[in-house]
């Protein structure tokens, strides 16, 4: 089975990024259905995700990709979709992951490794903001119900770049768009 490009060659954002200063984590839930020796934990949300500006979009983007990693390991996509709103690529990725597990398969590897979430401009009048996300992803294997490899993606040392757009409303960010934009550059920090 072929996955959307964002799943097969780059889903973005790493777990280490959630160690943002001042994060108050909710208690994560253990996943007893995991085939690994240790239970896979659902990613915790954090208070920074509710911040109105770029910090909130950044924290929500990192959370989204942590939730993608969790979904890849468990087949559970609820957490990743909970921080999206009408994001076609997000839904396509979630559906592809869910289908693998619904068919009795599993996904090995493929954990997203965002290098940064760099806001572009400021929040507009509609509460929207975009950010550039330089991105890498671990090698990944998709297995069918019999354990046979049906799709495989190697690690790409060059990575790619995504542009994420989110909207802030009712005290929270929701991702509305996620697109691979390999030519996009993060704005200068100066």
pLDDT surpassing 70 at residue 21: no
pLDDT surpassing 80 at residue 20: no
**Calpha distance 138→86 (Å, rounded):** 27
Tokens 């996955």 found at: 3
Q: At what angle do helices 54-74 and 88-102 cross, to 10 degrees?
A: 20
Instruction: At 13, list the tokens.
Output: 């954002």
Please report the pLDDT score of residue 174 as a whole number. Answer: 98
Helix (H, G, I), strand (E, B) or coil at 97: helix
pLDDT surpassing 60 at residue 29: no
Please report the pLDDT score of residue 98 as a whole number. Answer: 98
Q: Report pTM.
A: 0.80
pLDDT surpassing 50 at residue 169: yes
């Amino acid at each position: 089975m072929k996955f959307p490009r964002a799943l097969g060659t780059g889903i973005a954002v790493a777990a280490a990024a959630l160690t943002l200063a001042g994060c108050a984590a909710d208690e994560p839930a253990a996943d007893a259905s995991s085939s690994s020796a240790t239970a896979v934990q659902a990613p915790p949300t954090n208070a920074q995700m509710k911040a109105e500006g770029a910090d909130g979009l950044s924290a929500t983007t990192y959370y989204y990709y942590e939730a993608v990693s969790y979904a890849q390991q468990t087949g559970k996509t609820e957490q990743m979709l909970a921080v999206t709103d009408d994001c076609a690529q997000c839904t396509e990725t979630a559906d592809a992951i869910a289908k693998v597990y619904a068919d009795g398969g599993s996904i090995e590897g493929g954990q997203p490794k965002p290098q940064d979430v760099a806001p572009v401009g400021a929040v507009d009048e509609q509460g929207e903001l975009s950010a550039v996300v330089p991105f890498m992803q671990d090698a990944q294997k998709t297995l069918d119900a019999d354990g046979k490899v049906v799709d495989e993606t190697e690690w790409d040392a060059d990575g790619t770049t995504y542009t994420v757009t989110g909207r802030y409303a009712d005290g929270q960010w929701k991702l509305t768009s996620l697109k691979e934009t390999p030519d996009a550059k993060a704005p200068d920090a100066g």
